[in-house]
């Protein structure tokens, strides 16, 4: 029991008010993610992934040999496991996302606590829990929430120096979505920066980081030995862990009869990487910036983000340059009396500055690549960047509070110490983010899953279940994956057509009931004209409606002009 307590100690703060704030943050974050879990119908990709998972869960196609899959398998089999355990539904499909997003709050807290200390960690956890971006992506059956949780787990293990585990988590992220490969430099960079900073503090304080190791010796090339250890020990262990995690995904891909593999199919589905014309950069940059607004959806916090982060990075760069320009003896404090590690504040600040610059450098490179390469401007692509942005914002907020306390010790007299200021900061963030989080929980922002386009699709499925017998032909052109999920196992002949003429030719040959389902944002004028040439027509038999009363889907019966 004592060992369990030790393992859980990282989750809890040291003082009761902070424990209350952290516990409340986790509870509120979870509730905010659960509120919209059944509000919206599936986004197109949610329906696609869930359909694949249904084929796995039911045993119809365990390896998805019948589908051109463009994603690695981990998320798909995770969905299949949840369907097997709880039954197929929208809510079941979204549970992995909710769990992963909630876990990400705790992981961000732990990561920030290890890198920056408890007050910053508390602020980062509140930001992560109440971020509208996170709230709206959590209750989706998309790959991204699980990807982000695994990347954060890899970062947490890397800063602990557990490189094999970090490699495994990074590999699982890549086995969830191939974009997980983008985060490998971040995991390695942050892990090495943190390890080097801890070794520097240990050396400067005369404290041994590992009791079995000799104290690093700057004068005898201890720094070079550390980097040699990174190159020949830590990074190879990371690579081995990564390969062990991605190997099953590669073997799965090779075992499938469907060709090409998921990486090549992804290039086919989305187009291979290509440069975007510079003339389009301003427009794309504005669209990415518009999406980033919803990371907090708060004017005060976004203002602090835009102003504070550049100042934080400039100050950090000044610290790092100053440290590099000083003799090592001075950096280690050998020119002054030895101090304990807790008092080595300047060296600690330099280490934190390196971490800040690493996060910011990765974020800027990430955005730059998504600006100049032909990535679709989709909100989900930014979800992996959200924890980085919020960590930097938490740094700005805490450094601001810390500076105010240093300049005016009489500020907020009832609050004593940095832990108390951390509680005040967390409460301030909760108040600032209350309205954005509430709007997100009620799906009032245009990010995340479907925002109402597919409302009524479940009513279409209910209509067929109650009014159309087995053996009917159901034509579809725009709703293939939605019908495949919502009408899974329905005894109909589903027919996709790529042109109105193909529809008319097939309908003219088929006997028996024939139906077509069309969304409100698509016209069937060409279909009607093509069918009329074959003596057929479309007759409306059912309409589905959105919550606002507008028509979302229309079900047509294909009949002869004489009322066949």
- Looking only at the bridges linking them, the beta strands covering 493-496 and 514-519 are unpaired
At 404-443, the pLDDT tens digits run 666 545 545 554 555 556 667 777 888 899 999 999 999 9
User: With contact defined as beta carbons under 8 Å apart, do 455 and 552 qualify?
Assistant: yes
Picking from 540, 527, 441, the residue whose alpha carbon sits closest to that of residue 132 is: 441
Sequence-distant (≥ 6) Cβ neighbours of residue 240 within 8 angstroms: 164, 167
**Domain 457-560 annotated CATH 3.40.190:** yes
- Beta-bridge partners for 539: 557
User: With contact defined as beta carbons under 8 Å apart, do 197 and 273 qualify?
Assistant: no
pTM (2 decimals)?
Answer: 0.88
Query: What is the model's pLDDT at position 351?
Result: 84
User: With contact defined as beta carbons under 8 Å apart, do 93 and 141 qualify?
Assistant: yes
- Tell me the pLDDT of the chain (564 aa) as tens digits: 444 444 445 455 556 777 788 888 999 999 999 999 998 999 999 999 999 999 999 999 999 999 999 999 999 999 999 999 999 999 999 999 999 999 999 999 999 999 998 889 989 999 999 999 999 999 999 999 999 999 999 999 999 989 999 999 999 999 999 999 999 999 999 988 887 666 665 555 544 444 333 433 433 444 555 556 665 677 888 999 999 999 999 999 999 998 888 988 888 887 778 899 999 999 999 999 999 999 999 999 999 999 999 999 999 999 888 877 766 545 554 444 333 333 334 467 888 999 999 999 999 999 999 999 999 999 999 999 999 999 999 999 988 877 766 654 554 555 455 555 666 777 788 889 999 999 999 999 999 988 888 999 999 999 999 999 999 999 999 999 999 999 998 999 999 999 999 999 999 999 889 999 999 999 999 999 999 999 999 999 999 999 889 999 999 999 986 444
Query: What is the model's pLDDT at position 161?
Result: 87
CB-based burial, 355-381: b 16+ in 10 Å, e otherwise: bbbbbbebbeebbeebbbeebebebbb
255-263 contacts at long range (C-beta below 8 A, 24 or more positions apart): 255/63, 256/63, 256/64, 256/65, 256/69, 257/63, 257/65, 258/64, 258/65, 258/66, 258/67, 258/68, 258/69, 260/68, 262/69, 262/70, 262/71, 262/72, 262/73, 262/178, 263/178
Q: What angle do CA 185, 187, 190 make, to 5 degrees?
A: 100
Sequence-distant (≥ 6) Cβ neighbours of residue 454 within 8 angstroms: 40, 41, 42, 43, 482, 519, 552
Query: What is the model's pLDDT at position 8?
Result: 44
DSSP conformation letters of 394-412? HHHHHHHHHHHHHH-TTSS
Kindly list the domain boundaries of the chain, sorted by start residue.
Answer: 14-441, 457-560
Picking from 133, 138, 128, the residue whose alpha carbon sits closest to that of residue 430 is: 128
């Amino acid at each position: 029991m004592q060992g369990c307590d030790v393992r859980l100690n990282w989750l809890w703060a040291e003082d009761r008010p902070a424990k209350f704030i952290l516990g409340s943050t986790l509870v509120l974050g979870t509730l905010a993610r659960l509120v919209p879990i059944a509000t919206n119908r599936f986004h197109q990709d949610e329906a696609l992934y869930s359909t694949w998972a249904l084929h796995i869960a039911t045993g119809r196609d365990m390896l998805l040999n019948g589908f051109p899959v463009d994603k690695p398998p981990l998320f798909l089999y995770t969905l299949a496991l949840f369907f097997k355990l709880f039954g197929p539904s929208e809510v079941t499909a979204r549970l992995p996302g909710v769990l992963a997003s909630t876990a990400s709050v705790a992981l961000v807290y732990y990561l920030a606590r290890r890198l920056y200390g408890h007050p910053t960690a508390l602020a980062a956890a509140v930001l992560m829990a109440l971020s509208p971006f996170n709230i709206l992506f959590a209750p989706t059956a998309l790959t991204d929430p699980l990807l982000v949780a695994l990347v954060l787990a890899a970062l947490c293990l890397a800063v602990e120096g557990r490189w094999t585990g970090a490699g495994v988590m990074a590999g699982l992220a890549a086995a969830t979505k191939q974009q997980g490969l983008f985060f490998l430099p971040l995991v390695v960079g942050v892990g090495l920066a943190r390890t080097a900073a801890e070794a520097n503090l240990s050396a400067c304080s005369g404290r041994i980081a590992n009791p079995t190791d000799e104290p690093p010796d700057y004068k005898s090339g201890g720094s070079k030995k550390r980097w040699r250890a990174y190159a020949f020990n830590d990074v190879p262990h990371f690579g081995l862990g990564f390969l062990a995690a991605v190997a099953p995904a590669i073997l799965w891909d090779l075992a499938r009869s469907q060709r090409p593999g998921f990486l090549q199919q992804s290039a086919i589905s989305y187009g291979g990487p290509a440069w975007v014309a510079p003339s389009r950069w301003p427009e794309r940059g504005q669209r990415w910036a518009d999406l980033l607004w919803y990371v907090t959806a708060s004017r005060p916090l976004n203002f602090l983000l835009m102003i504070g982060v550049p100042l934080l990075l400039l100050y950090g760069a000044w610290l790092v340059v100053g440290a590099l320009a000083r003799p090592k003896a001075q950096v280690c404090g050998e020119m002054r009396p030895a101090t304990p590690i807790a008092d080595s504040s300047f060296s600690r600040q330099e280490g934190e500055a390196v971490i800040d610059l690493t996060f910011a450098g990765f974020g800027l490179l990430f955005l730059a690549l998504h600006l100049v390469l032909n990535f679709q401007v989709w909100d989900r692509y930014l979800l992996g960047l959200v924890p980085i942005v919020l960590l930097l914002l938490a740094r700005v907020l805490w450094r601001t509070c810390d500076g105010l306390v240093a300049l005016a010790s009489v500020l907020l007299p009832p609050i004593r110490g940095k832990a108390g200021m951390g509680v005040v900061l967390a409460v301030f963030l909760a108040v600032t983010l209350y309205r954005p989080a509430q709007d997100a929980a009620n799906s009032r922002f245009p990010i995340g899953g479907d925002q109402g386009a597919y409302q009524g699709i479940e009513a279409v499925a209910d209509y067929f279940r109650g009014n159309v017998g087995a053996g009917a032909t159901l034509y579809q052109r725009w709703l293939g994956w939605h019908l495949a999920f919502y009408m899974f196992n329905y005894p109909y002949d589903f027919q996709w057509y790529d042109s109105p003429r193909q529809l008319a030719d097939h309908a003219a040959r088929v006997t028996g009931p024939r139906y077509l389902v069309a969304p409100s944002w698509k016209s069937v004028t060409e279909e009607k004209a093509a069918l009329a040439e074959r003596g057929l027509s479309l007759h409306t038999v059912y309409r589905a409606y959105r919550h606002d009363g507008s028509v979302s889907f229309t079900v047509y019966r294909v009949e002869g002009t004489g009322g066949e």
